[in-house]
């Protein structure tokens, strides 16, 4: 239960608020990141149009290798 509450507080509640206040709209892809260090680290969320995203997932770009193809077209 503590993990479930943490997920709700850190992710579900914030995403719900962003949807309600129009920061995330239909058709947006939600990009999740983090900022801060240690106990002050928090999740960040932003919505981007699909065309604004690179075709290669960031994990694959950072590793420089062939990872799973996570695009919807594959």
Predicted pLDDT at 55:
67
Residue 17 in domain: yes
Residue 73 in domain: no
Give the residue numbers spanning the domain of 36.
2-53
Domain count, the chain: 1
Quick one: which of 45, 47, 46 has its CA closest to 27? Answer: 47
Residue 65 in domain: no
Residue 62 in domain: no
Question: Which alpha helices (H) appear in the chain, and where do they start and end?
Answer: 2-7, 13-20, 58-63
- pLDDT per residue as tens digits for the range 15-72: 999 999 999 988 888 888 889 999 888 888 888 887 766 666 666 555 555 545 555 5
Q: Kindly indicate the confidence band of residue 74, based on its pLDDT and cuts at 50, 70 and 90.
A: very low
């Amino acid at each position: 239960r503590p993990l479930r509450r943490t997920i709700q507080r850190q992710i579900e509640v914030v995403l719900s608020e962003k949807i309600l206040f129009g920061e995330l709209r239909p058709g947006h892809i939600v990009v999740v990141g983090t900022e801060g260090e240690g106990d002050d680290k928090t999740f960040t969320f932003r919505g981007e149009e699909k065309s604004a995203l690179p075709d290669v997932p960031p994990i694959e770009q950072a590793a420089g290798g062939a990872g799973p193809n996570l695009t919807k077209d594959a």
